[in-house]
Amino acid sequence: MKVGLLFSGGKDSALAAMLLSRDYEVELNTFVFDPDREVASVEGAARTLGFPWRKHALGLECLAAAAKKVIADGYPADAITAVHRRAVRLLAEEYEVVADGTRLNDRVPAMTRGDVMRMADRYGCSYVRPLLGFGKAEVQRLARQHLCVAYGETGTIENGDYEYEIRAAVGQMGHRCAELFPAHHQQSLVTGATGIE
């Protein structure tokens, strides 16, 4: 059975793909806003892992709405979660099983139990989070064991995380990202795999 996995190109979604591949035919799905945005680094990460990869565009209207929400709220959490929910719903229209790489202690993005149950009822799909029982320290240990990973502060490393484009849009609207987004937020990008046999 196929699983549609939300894939940013980072260590969390890469580890989720590796865990899911034991029981599912994994297809990696990256959501960007701008349909013309090239994400060669994310495509390269997918190729490194050996899974089929697809890029989807949420649209510039969705990007503008997310950026405006960040500005109105004064923080990015709810905007990023709203975008994540939209991406999950779009995959639910296509796949019987949808997955992501959210971890035990992730605060953003977040799907509540109610969100998951409503999606399952509406689309008849399952929502799987293989890292949900893993904390940050354990995910980092597994990443060191199985992946080659580049790290950088959000905005300095180009992966498929929603925040990359939202930050740029907020800046284009004349607002300082440093005042709205958490400082020193690390992102990751998979550059190789050491544990794939």
Q: Could you tell me the two tokens for 126?
A: 């399952």
Judge whether 109 and 154 are in contact, CB under 8 Å: no
pLDDT per residue as tens digits for the range 106-148: 888 888 889 889 988 999 999 999 999 898 899 999 999 999 8
In order of 6, 9, 28, 49, 142, the CA distances from 15 in angstroms are 12, 10, 12, 10, 8
How much is the pLDDT for 47?
A: 95
Separation in Å, CA 106 to CA 92, 175, 191: 22, 26, 23
CATH superfamily of 2-193: HUPs (3.40.50.620)
Instruction: Please give the Cα distance from 70 to 7 (Å, whole number).
Output: 23
Angle value at C-alpha 124, between 121 and 126, nearest 5 degrees: 100
Its pTM stands at 0.90
Query: Cα torsion for 97, 30, 136, 126, to the nearest 10°?
Result: -10
Model pLDDT, residue 77: 93
pLDDT at 104: 84
Look at the block and give the residue holding tokens 């697809």.
54
Q: What pLDDT is recorded for position 192? A: 87
Is the distance from CB of 92 to CB of 131 less than 8 angstroms?
no
Helix (H) or strand (E) holding 126: strand 126-128
For the chain, which ranges sit under pLDDT 70? Answer: 195-197
Amino acid at 106: D
Domain positions in the chain are: 2-193
Alpha carbon distance 183, 50 (integer Å) = 34
Q: How high is the pLDDT of residue 197? A: 47
Amino acid letter for position 118: R
pLDDT for the residue numbered 183: 79
pLDDT of 195: 56
